Amino acid sequence: MMKYVSLFSGAGGMDLGADRAGWECVAQVEKDKNCQRVLAHHWPDVPKWGDIADVDGTELPPADAVIFGSPCQDLSVAGRRAGIHGEASSLFFQAIRVIREMQDAGNAPIWVVWENVAGALSSHQGQDFAIVLHEMADAGALVLEWAVLDARWFGVPQRRRRIFLIACFDPGAAERCPDPLLPVAESLPGHLGEGDAPGQVVAALTANGVGAGGGPDDNAGHLIPTLTTRCGNTQDDQQTAQLVPFVKAKRAQTDTDDETWAEAGPDRPAPTLNAMDNGSESRATVVSVHLTQDPITSTEALSTGSASGAAMVGVATEMAVRRLTPRECERLMGWPDDHTLVTNPRNKPMADGPRYRMCGNGVASPVMTWVAEQINNATATI
């Protein structure tokens, strides 16, 4: 059984995914008090640490893997783009420090999985992601592979594109692990087919030229720091999730920001949950519209499309716009119902605000399950 240490655990979305793949959590690091209560409720026997800056990696239990999604605020295209050295996102380097300390204690992990927003690839014209690759390679990673995975292809009706980077630190595993580690369909946009040439590569921006893979327009890449380079493709290889008739075309980023609506369809699922999906300022909403095949002329009617292409009509008499409930947000993340509904220090149920924030900042568990399963497959062949 793969044992793992979880850094920046949040409400445990990444941990849920790893557990479903048969992994066992041996340590969790999370400073947020509300998240700590959720973790204590669902993983009561797992040792806990608070602020990662106070964690001594030599004191962590032995583990085969380290998984973490370091803060994304400075890398997100919705943020100020301060980059990997920004106040929040620079905590990535604390994770690297912990990994190095584990190695110094003779407890070197074989695998590391890093999750973050897709904007990490373009931050500072790719230089920030090059730094991530450099740091992993300098810490001893022998193979690095990444892909931008969208949660909507893993059974949840939410467009949530996140980069997942896998690093392999064991020489034997690195020599025999499959290429690619993250298998994706070759017939989809972004795949480098015969006659195609890779674009300018992110890792080529690194000062020492550790390798190259995954250009600005690519969503996946494979890097062997001391050997060769292989580029990959996008991951869109599963069926479209079920959608509501109308969804937001643009999500609010502040409590005063506007939002727009558009017809739902295979190419327009519900937008990504974000940190604004909380409390009284929440802009997270769904629309319920009763559809009929009968033509009507009411000015209150809304037109939409059916799967067969026939015209459908939404009758506005039973139309309602409301905020998503915390339970619905948990379902959008692939978490169990009421995963974040634990008691606070006053023995009262967790308020909705923190629950919204935990979902908005979390990891969609089904994606992590798939990533962990690919590592399982690679380990089985070694």
What residues act catalytically?
Answer: 72
For residue 231, what is the enclosing H or E element? strand 229-231
Determine contact, residues 187/173, Cβ cutoff 8 Å: no
Determine contact, residues 269/157, Cβ cutoff 8 Å: yes
| Cα distances (angstroms) measured from residue 233 to each of 19, 27, 347 | 27, 34, 49
Count how many residues are written for the chain. 382
Determine contact, residues 78/253, Cβ cutoff 8 Å: yes
Burial 281-311 (b: 16+ CB within 10 A, else e): ebbbbbbebeeeeeeeeeeebbebeeeeeee
Q: Token pair for residue 51?
A: 């602020």
Q: Vertex 160, ends 41 and 318: CA angle to 5°?
A: 90
Neighbouring residues of 32: CB distance < 8 A, sequence distance ≥ 6: 10
